[in-house]
Amino acid sequence: MGVTTLWEDTPDGVVEVSVRWRDEDYRVAVENGYFLFVRWNTSAADAFEAPYVVAYTHSDGRSVKMPRDTHGAEERYERVQRMLRRTRTKGQTIDIAISDPEELTEDQT
């Protein structure tokens, strides 16, 4: 079993984020300009369906729908997958830690 997470900063004035995961929407509170979505006891199959933001709710009650992948998560995932395919040899395991995914450039993949 594992843990599925999504966390990001939000635009000014956002008090709640709607996150979609596995065809369900979850309302997540924003604290100090950030939100954290967490689901415990997830299966290995859940790793192939990442949660994503579908809407921001502002303090005035206005809801703004977001297009999928507004923060480049799918592109970053693909860059990491390419890096793994290029560097992995048979029987080798790789540990990856990226402190800021935005800093992963094409040269590093």
Q: Which pLDDT belongs to residue 75?
A: 66
Indicate left, alpha or beta for 95 from its phi (over 0: left) and psi (-120 to 50: alpha).
Answer: beta
Q: Which pLDDT belongs to residue 89?
A: 56
| Rounded Cα distance, 109 and 85, in Å | 9
Which is more confidently placed, 62 or 84? 62
Q: The tokens of 72 are what?
A: 């480049």
Q: Which pLDDT belongs to residue 84?
A: 61
What percent of the chain has a predicted confidence (pLDDT) above 70?
62
Whether this model's pTM surpasses 0.85: no
| Rounded Cα distance, 3 and 44, in Å | 10
Hey, what domains does the chain have and what are their CATH numbers? 2-65 (2.60.40), 73-108 (no CATH)
Residue 82, pLDDT above cutoff 80: no
Q: Region 73-80: what's the mean pLDDT?
A: 62
Q: Which pLDDT belongs to residue 27?
A: 96
pLDDT in tens, 6-38: 999 999 999 999 999 988 999 999 999 999 999
34 by DSSP, 3-state: which? strand
CA distances from 87 to 5, 23, 54, 59, 84 (A): 26, 34, 34, 46, 5
